Amino acid sequence: MSVKYKRNGKPISEQEFHHIAPLSEPGIPQCARSGAKWPVVSDYLGVHPRQVKKVKEHLDSHDCHTDFAPDGRPIIRSASHMTKVAELTGVYERIRRENTFDPGEYD
């Protein structure tokens, strides 16, 4: 199976594709794909680079060891790691929360 690159439905070369949509960090996918390729660098869980040290200390104190890219985006190792980082940093995971039904939630 080979990869076919397209833009607006027309075939383009791999070089053209990566020129249009370059990877910010080669080797680390920017989002989870089918079959979940971990690790991923998360944009929505990112912090300002000056906040990395403080956030990293907070996560470490809760036994959630997380590495950060130089621009403040965390490197997420798994879905459960993503959930834990989101909860500890106060980020609401809309898709995960809305697609999970807890019957006891409405008692």
Q: pLDDT tens across 82-91, in order?
A: 889 998 998 8
In the chain, the percentage of residues whose pLDDT exceeds 90 is 33
DSSP-assigned beta bridge partners for residue 38:
none
Q: Is the pTM of this model over 0.85?
A: no
The domain ranges of the chain are 28-99
Cα separation, 85 vs 50, in Å, equals: 18
Separation CA 13–CA 74 (nearest Å): 31
